[in-house]
Amino acid sequence: MRRIRVTVDGRAHEHEVEPRLLLIHYLREVLGIGGAHVGCDTSNCGACTVLMDGESVKSCTVLAVQADGHEITTVQGLAGDGGWHPVQKAFHEAHGLQCGYCTPGMIMAAVSLLRENPDPSEQEIREGLEGNLCRCTGYENIVKAVQQAAHEMRGQAVAAS
C-alpha cells in the first residue's frame, strides 16, 4: 500500500491505496465521485477525463499514486459560487448532450481545450475533442456548445480586463 495526498475538487484527501489502483477507481470508489465515468476498457472513450493540475487526462490511464501531490478537478468541481462553469452552461443551452454518458469527460476536455486555445476554429474543436467519443449526438451540438462557451469566456475575460 502507498499513502497518497491528493486535492480533488478543492478538497484535500489522504489515503492508503494499492499501487495498481487507477485514478478513475480512486475517484469513484474511494471518494464516491460518480461524475467521472468509465466508458471503456481500452483508454479510447474519454468518459473518464478529468483535469490534473489543469491538464486533461484520461483517469483510467493514470494510477492513483501518480496523482500524489497533484490537484484533480472533476466535472463535480467545475461550478463556482456564481453557478455553472460557462462550458457546463453552454452544453446545457446548446443541447450538447443526449444520454449524457460522455458529457463529464467531454466538458472537462473542452475546458482544457479552451484554456489552451480561447478562440478555436471548428476544426480545432473537433481535433481537440477527438479523444472523447459520443455515441449519441453526432458532435454537431457539442461543437456548437464549445463555440458558445468560448465566446462567453472571451467576453468575461475582456470584461475583467
Residues that bind ligand FES (CB under 6 A): 38-40, 43-48, 58, 60, 97-103, 134-137
- Nearest distance from C-beta of residue 8 to ligand FES, angstroms: 17
The beta strands (E) that lie in the chain are given as 2-8, 11-17, 49-52, 55-58, 71-73
- Nearest distance from C-beta of residue 133 to ligand FES, angstroms: 7
Residue 80, beta-bridge partner list = 83
Q: How far is CA 93 from CA 37, 41, 128, 139, 141, in A?
A: 22, 31, 21, 15, 10
- Nearest distance from C-beta of residue 105 to ligand FES, angstroms: 8
Q: Which residues of 106-140 are buried (b: 16+ CB within 10 A; e: fewer)?
A: bbbbbbbbbeeeeebeeeebeebbeebbbeebebe
Of the pair 47, 64, the CB lying nearest ligand FES is at 47
Of the pair 66, 154, the CB lying nearest ligand FES is at 66
Of the pair 43, 121, the CB lying nearest ligand FES is at 43
- Nearest distance from C-beta of residue 30 to ligand FES, angstroms: 17
Cell reading at 118? 480561447
Of the pair 43, 156, the CB lying nearest ligand FES is at 43
